[in-house]
Amino acid sequence: MNQNHINLYESNLKLLKRKHPEVWKRITEKQPEPFGEISYASNGNPNLTVINSHENSILLHNEINPEKESIDFLEKIPPDHKGFVAILGMGLFYSALNILKKRPHLQYLALFELEPGIFIQALRHTDLSPILEDPRLILSIETKANISETLATASRTFQLEDSSILHHQPSFDFNPDGYNQLKDDLFAHINGLNIGGTTTRILGKDFLNNRFKHISTIHHHQLLEQIQNKFDNVPAILVAGGPSLDKNIHLLKQIQEKAVIIAVDTVLPALLKNDVHPHFLTCIDPNDLTFEKFADIIPKVKDVALICSSWVNPKTPKVFPAEQIFWTFTSNPMEAWLNSLIGGKIMTGGASTVAHLNLIAAHMLGCDPIIFIGQDLAYPNATSASHANGTVLQGSAPTDVITNHIQGESVTGINGEFLRTNRSFLSMKKFFEAAIAKSDKTHINATQGGANIEGTKILTLQEVMDKHCNTRINTTQCLKKFHSTVKPINPDKMLIEFNRILNKTKKLQKLIKNSDEITKTLFKELTKVKRTGKCIKSFEMLTLPQKKRINKIDKFHKDLDNTLEVWKILEEITMEGLKESERQKQDISILENDPDKYIEWLLKNLNRLLDINKIRKDTLMLLSDNLNAVTSFHQKENNYLAKINKGIQTEQNKLNLAGLYIDSKNYYLAKPLLKDLCKSIPESGEVYFYLGCSAAQSNMLKQANRYFQTAIEYDPRFNRQVDSYIQGIGDDFLKFAQYFKTQPGRDLSVKYMVQKGLRYHPNHRGLQKELEIILKQDLEKIKSDIDADNYQNSAELIKEWYHNAMNQNDLFNNLSAELVSNIFLYQGKFFLSQKEHQNCLASLKSAMKYSPKNQDIHSIIIDTLFVIGDFNGGIDALNKAIKLDVKFASYWEIIGDSLQSAGQNEDAILAYENCFVHLPDNIALLKKIGDCYMATEQLEAAKAAYEQLKIKMNVLNDR
C-alpha cells in the first residue's frame, strides 16, 4: 500500500473501532486478506475485480464511473423514506455513499458484505467516514450474517415503518448462493417483525379490549396447559384449509376416535359436511367477522372444544357452543401479566395463524405423531382455489404469482416440483420448520400436494391411518373426563392486581395533567419569543423561570417513563403513537447541533412531549375503562350468584344474571339460566327477548323470530328493543360487506354478507342498497349471456336469484320492481331455452306482477302460449297486451298470415280486421283482407276492401 492508502486505511479503521467496535474486533482478530484486484477508472476512482466460484471475472462497479451506483441507489429510495433500507453486497461502498446524507429522514441503513476481504479493500481505497460517522448505519461484515443480532437495534423500526431491501447485483453475481440465502433470511426476519408490528399497530386496541372481555369470564374456562400431555403419544391430525383437503377429507370419519383431530376454524363447515367432528377448533383472529367462517353451522356443532389465543374476537368464545374452552397466552408483556394473574405457568410461542396454533396445541397435549393435512402453503398447478370447498373464505388463487425462484415466490413441492406460493405462506412454512426442529415428536406431512415442510415425513393419509391410527382411544370421552377433573381458574389474585393498577393509573393521569399544564404554558411563551426574533442559541440563554420549568418537565417525564410496569403492558396500543414519536425524533435530530435553530429544536421537543402525553392519556383511559369493566362484572356476577345460592329472590336474580351475560354478549353462559327461567317464569317478555338474542347469535333465525314475537306478546315494550337489536345485527353485516368490498376478488363474500344480513333484517336500507348494486351487476352478466345465447354460463346465477326471490318475498318486495321482474324474466327465458314451457309461463307471470307494462314479458308469454297450442290463452294474453300498447296488435297480422297460409281464410280475415281496428295506418292489411275474400269467392267484399285500399293510397299520395 502507498502512504495515501495507509492513511486512509488507518483513519477508517480508527473510526470503525469507535463507531462499530464489534465489526472492528472481528476484522482485527481474523485479519482477512484483501480480496480481488484493484484497478482505476478513467476518472481516477478505484474499482475492484473479483473471481467467482465458476472462475468468472466480476467487475464490482461501473467501469467508466464507479460512483454512478451511488446515484442509482438514491433513486430507489424515496426522499421522504422514514423507515429502514438494507443493501446486500457493497464492494467499495459506492452504493452507500451519500445515502444517509441525502435521505435525512431514514431511520436506519444496514449494509451487508459476505466477503470480509472485499471490506478490507474498501477500508484501504474508499473514504468511509461519511457513513461510518452516522449513528443510523448498521454494518454486517461476515460470511454468515447473524441477522437477528445485527438488526436488533432496528427491530422497533421494522414494527413501525416500511422496509426496503436493495441488491448490489455484481455482489450477487460473485456469490449468488450466499446472497440469495441472505436475501431470503433477511426478508423472513423483517417480514415477521413488520407483519407483527403492523398488526399490532392497527389492531392493538382491539387486542387489548378483546383480552379484557375474555378475562372477565375466563374463570368459566381453562388454560390449555391444564391438560398438558393428557394425550401423550396419541396421534394428532392437524387440519388446515388448503384446497388439497378436498382430496382426503372423506377419510377423517374413519379415525374420529382413533386420534386427536385439531382443526383451524375455517374448515369446520367442510368437516361437518363430511360428518367429521373435530375434537379441538383453533381460533386466533381478533375480528368478529371471523365468526362467520362457521356461523351457519353453529346449530350442528357437538362435542367440539375451542382453543383460543387471548386476543381472539369476543364473539367466538361467547357464542360458540363449546363445553370446553382452553386459552393460550404468549410471552407478550400484557399476556404474560394476565397469565400469571390467573395461575398460568406456560407461555406459548406467538401463533400468527390458526395453523400455527394447531401445532402449538398438539405439542402441548403431548401428541405423537403429529400429522398435517390441508397444509398446502402453495397454489398447486392443478387448482385455482385458495381454500377447501365449503368455507366462507373460499376464493380464487392469485394469478399474478410468478412460477420461478425470483423473490421467493415459488417453493419446492412434496413431489419435488416447483409450486406457486407467496411471502405469507413462506413465513408460515419457516415457523413450522423452526418448531419441528426444536421438537422430539414425529411430524408427518399427509397433505396431498402442496409445499414440502422440512423435518416432516411424507405419507398419504391412508398410510398414516394404517400405520398410526388403528387403536380406538375414545378421544371425545377422554377430553370430557380430563375437563371434569380440571380445577376452575381462581380470579381473586387478578382482581386484587387490577385494583392496584387502577390506583396507579390515577396517579399517572395526575402527573400527565401537571406536566401538560407547564409544557403548554412554556410552549406558548417560547412561541412568542420566536416571533419577536430574539436570538436564543442555547439552554443557558433562557431565563431562570424557563430553565426551571424545563427541568420540571424533564422530571415529570422521567417519573412517567419509570413506571415501566404500566407502560409495558400497554405496549401494543402505544405503538402507533410511538411511530409518530420516532419520526419526530428523527426530524428534531436534524436541528440538534445547529445553535441558530435552538429555539425551533426546543419547541419541537416540547410539542413532541405533549403528543407523547396525549398517547399516554388515551391508553391509560382505555386501560382503566377495561379494568373497571372487569371488576364491575365480577362484583355483579358474584352478587347475583350469592343471592341465588342463598335462595334470595331466585328467579329475579337468575334473570339479572342472565341479563348481565346477555349485555356482555356472553350468550352461551346465559343459555342454561334462560332454560330454567322458561319453566319458572314462562310469561316473561324479558326471558324471551334474551332467548331471541341468543338464538339470533347462534344463527337460528326462525327460532329467534318466534322468541322475539313471544317477548312482544308478553310485554309490548320489547318491540323497540327487538327492533334496535336486529338493526345492530344488520349494521354489523353491512360493515362486513363494506370491508370485503375493499378486498380484491371477494365479490362472493360481499354478496354472502349482504344476503345473510338481510335474512336477519329484511328492511335494512343500507343492506338493501348493497343488494340492489349486486343484483344489477349480476343481471347485466345474465343479460349478456342470454343475448349471446349462452344460457348455461349464467344458469346457476339465474337459479340463485330466482330461489332468493321466491323464498324472501318480504325482502324482494322492497327492491326495485324492475330488477326483481328481471330475475323472473331471465328465469323464464332460461326455462324457454330448455323447452320447459309451463315453468317458463309461471316465471313470466311472476315477472309481470312486478312489471305489468314490460313489453318483453308480454311478447314471450304470447309466443309461448301459441307455441304450446294454447290459442285461447294466447288471444287473451294478446288482448291484455294491446290494452297496454296498441303496437301489440301487429300480432294479429302474424296470426292472419299463418291462417292464410294454412288456407283458413275466414279466420285470417278476422285476424287482419282485429289488427286493422287498432292499426288503421297499416293499409297493407286491406290488400290481405281483399285477397282472403277473393280466395273464398266473396267478390263484393273483396272489391270493397280493394277500393278502401285505393282511397287510402290516394290520400297518402296527395300528402
127 shares a domain with 43:
yes
The domain in which residue 155 lies consists of: 3-198
3-state class (DSSP) for residue 680? helix
pLDDT band, residue 633 (cuts 50/70/90): very high
Q: Which tops the pLDDT comparison, 370 or 408?
A: 370
Please report whether residue 750 resides in a domain.
no
Question: Does 146 lie in the same domain as 53?
Answer: yes
Cβ neighbors of 44 (< 8 A, separation 6 or more) are none
Which residues, 6 or more positions from 882, have their beta carbon under 8 angstroms from its beta carbon? 888, 889, 918
pLDDT of residue 838: 95
More confident site: 675 or 611: 675
- Segment 176-192 shows an average pLDDT of 79
CA distances to 214, 407, 488, 524, 713 from 221, in Å: 10, 45, 7, 54, 37
Query: Residue 398 pLDDT more than 60?
Result: no
Q: Give the per-residue pLDDT at 953.
A: 87
Alpha carbon distance 661, 707 (integer Å): 18
pLDDT (0 to 100) of residue 146: 84
Could you give the CA distance from residue 429 to residue 452 in angstroms, rounded to a whole number?
Answer: 9
Same domain, 416 and 501: no
Please choose, from the candidates 393, 322, 381, the residue with its C-alpha nearest in 3D space to the C-alpha of residue 354.
Answer: 393
Q: How many whole angstroms separate alpha carbon 783 and alpha carbon 856?
A: 13
DSSP assignment of 99-141, as one string?
Answer: HHHH-TT--EEEEEES-HHHHHHHHHHS--HHHHT-TTEEEEE
Per-residue pLDDT, 570: 82
Please give the grid coordinates belonging to residue 108.
436506519
Last residue of a domain, one of 156, 171, 198: 198
In the numeric block, which cell numbers belong to residue 374? 390441508
Reply yes or no on whether the pLDDT at 175 is more than 60.
yes
527 and 464 within one domain = no
State the total domains in the chain. 3
66-80, 165-179, 385-399: least confidently modelled range = 385-399
> Is residue 748's pLDDT more than 70?
yes
* Same domain, yes or no: 403 and 261: yes
Pairing of strands 410-412, 370-373: unpaired
Q: Is residue 807 part of a domain?
A: no
What is the Rg, in whole angstroms, of the alpha carbon atoms belonging to the chain?
39
Note the pLDDT of residue 201.
44
The dihedrals phi and psi of 281, each to the nearest 5 degrees, come to -120, 125
- Per-residue pLDDT of 204-217, as tens digits, reads 678 888 899 999 99
Would you say 829 and 798 are in contact if contact means Cβ atoms under 8 Å apart?
A: no
Classify residue 693: in a domain, yes or no: no
Report pLDDT for 321. 94
Higher local confidence (pLDDT), 406 or 939: 939
**Amino acid identity, residue 725?**
Y
Mean pLDDT of the chain: 88
What is the rounded CA–CA span in Å between residue 343 and residue 225? 10
Mean pLDDT calculated for residue range 687-707: 96
> Are residues 470 and 331 part of one domain?
yes
326, β-bridge pairs: 222, 307
**333 falls within a domain:** yes
Q: Per the domain annotation, does 905 fall within a domain?
A: no
Domain-embedded: residue 541: yes
Confidence label for 395 from pLDDT (cuts 50, 70 and 90): very low
Half-sphere exposure of 571 (CA within 13 A, CB side): 16
Give me 517's grid cell: 399544564
The string of pLDDT tens digits covering residues 758-782 is 999 999 999 999 999 999 999 999 9
- Write out pLDDT tens, residues 550-602: 999 989 988 888 888 888 888 776 655 555 666 666 677 777 778 888 888 88
Residue 752 located in a structural domain:
no
Q: What is the pLDDT of residue 226?
A: 95
pTM score: 0.76
138 with 232, same domain: the answer is no
End-to-end alpha-carbon separation of the chain, Å?
Answer: 112
Residue 3 pLDDT exceeds 70: no
pLDDT, tens digit, 9 for 90 and up, residues 828-837: 999 999 999 9
Question: Quick one: pLDDT at residue 4?
Answer: 56
Cell numbers standing for residue 124: 484501504
CB burial of residue 459 (10 Å; 0-12, 13-18, 19+): middle
Q: What is the mean pLDDT of residues 315-342?
A: 93
Residues 273 and 166 in one domain: no
Check residue 181 and give its pLDDT. 86
Give the model confidence (pLDDT) of 426-475 as tens digits. Answer: 878 888 998 999 999 999 999 998 899 999 999 999 999 999 999 999 99
DSSP string, 835-899: T-HHHHHHHHHHHHHH-TT-HHHHHHHHHHHHHTT-HHHHHHHHHHHHHH-GGGGHHHHHHHHHH
pLDDT score recorded for residue 721: 97
φ, ψ dihedrals at 379, nearest 5°: -115, 95
User: Among the ranges 378-392, 639-653, 915-929, which has the highest mean pLDDT value?
Assistant: 639-653
More confident residue, 115 or 388: 115
What DSSP string describes 452-506?
--TT-EE--HHHHHHHH--S---HHHHHHHHHHHSPPPP-HHHHHHHHHHHHHHH
pLDDT in tens, 330-375: 888 889 999 999 999 998 876 568 889 999 999 999 999 999 999 9
Q: Quick one: 225 and 190 in the same domain?
A: no
Percentage of residues of the chain with pLDDT beyond 70: 92
Cβ proximity of 543 and 501 under 8 Å: no
DSSP-derived letter for residue 582 is: H
Indicate the SS3 state at residue 451.
strand
Q: Indicate if 274 and 415 belong to the same structural domain.
A: yes
For residue 696, is it within any domain?
no
DSSP notation for 300-321 = G--S-EEEEETTS-SHHHHHS-
- Helix 765-787 and helix 718-741: axis angle, to 10°? 50
289 and 427 belong to one structural domain: yes
User: For residue 222, what is the enclosing H or E element?
Assistant: strand 222-223
Domain end marker among 584, 618, 652: 618
What is the pLDDT averaged over residues 914-939?
A: 90
Higher local confidence (pLDDT), 184 or 847: 847
Q: Which residue has the cell 406457486?
A: 420
Residue 576 confidence (pLDDT): 58
pLDDT value of residue 303: 93
- pLDDT tens track for 240-261: 999 899 999 999 999 999 999 9
Structure confidence at residue 384 as a pLDDT band (50, 70, 90): low
Backbone angles phi, psi at 277, to 5 degrees: -110, 105
**Averaged over 76-98, what is the pLDDT?**
85
Q: What is the mean pLDDT of residues 400-427?
A: 68
> CA dist 177 to 48, 164, 171, 282, Å?
20, 21, 11, 39
3-state secondary structure of 94: coil
Domain end: 440, 459, 485, which one? 485
Percent of the chain topping pLDDT 90: 53
Question: Residue 161: which pLDDT band, with cuts at 50, 70 and 90?
Answer: low
Do both 301 and 346 map to the same domain? yes
